[in-house]
Amino acid sequence: MMEESEKTMSVHVTGRVRRVALGSVIAAAAALLVACSTVERSRTLGNPAIPAQALAAQVCSNCHGLDGNSVSPNFPRLAGQPAVYLTAQLKGFRGQNRSDPAGFEYMWGLSRHLTDEQIDGLATYYAGQQPRANSAADPQLIEKGRALFETGVPDKNIPPCAACHGAEAQGNESFPRLADQHADYIVKQLLVFQRTDQRPGGGVMKTIAHDLTAENIVAVAAFLQSFHFR
């Protein structure tokens, strides 16, 4: 009788422990859902109340990194980009004016519900992030790219990149920061300017890129990836 009683008690205790454990799991899950539903942790892109910094942390960071220093060359580095330039690009995506593949595949859907205030906030956030040095390329390729960046190609009337993007490739309100940018991304964008009309806001770059050779493009991209300016 004692053994049977002990077995019954054990079953009740085990069941109670399981119920307590299950209750803890449910409570934790509920707390997580509550946390994710707050505006500071939300991933909702259609809510104008979500602050820009929350969007940067919860959504944009998946591709561009929390501080805008993306690791993958598929996604541009945003840290230190001029705020006015970023605002213009985000509005270009939202209005579906930029149709380059990397843009419409990712950014059309992500940006379509952003408010002007959120866009301005995102631009300000990334402009204030500290750019980090990128990996260096082949030294000989870097020097060829440096010559293009500093002097252009005079016999083809191609101006130096520094004339618009700054002596340190830091960019300005109309032109992006190119220092530390991924070489692969720069190559892709230069080819977009050279061969397509998918970036209608880049008329100046379309003219400049028209006569660049494949070697020119690869070299200047390698130099800019390796060129770190704080």
* Predicted confidence (pLDDT) per residue in 91-116, tens digit: 999 999 999 998 889 999 999 999 99
Domain identity same for 119 and 156: no
* Predicted confidence (pLDDT) per residue in 24-67, tens digit: 434 443 333 344 456 666 778 889 999 999 999 999 999 999 99
Among 127, 147, 176, the domain boundary falls at 127
User: Hey, which residues does 158 pair with through a beta bridge?
Assistant: 153
The span from the CA of 161 to the CA of 167, in Å, is: 8
Domain identity same for 143 and 122: no
Domain hosting 90: range is: 52-127
Domain identity same for 175 and 199: yes
Q: Please report whether residue 41 resides in a domain.
A: no
The span from the CA of 224 to the CA of 134, in Å, is: 9
Q: Of 75, 85, 176, nearest to 122 (Cα)?
A: 85
Query: In this structure, what CATH number is given to the domain that contains residue 198?
Result: 1.10.760.10
User: Hey, which residues does 153 pair with through a beta bridge?
Assistant: 158
Give the mean model confidence (pLDDT) for residues 177-196: 97
Domain identity same for 149 and 222: yes
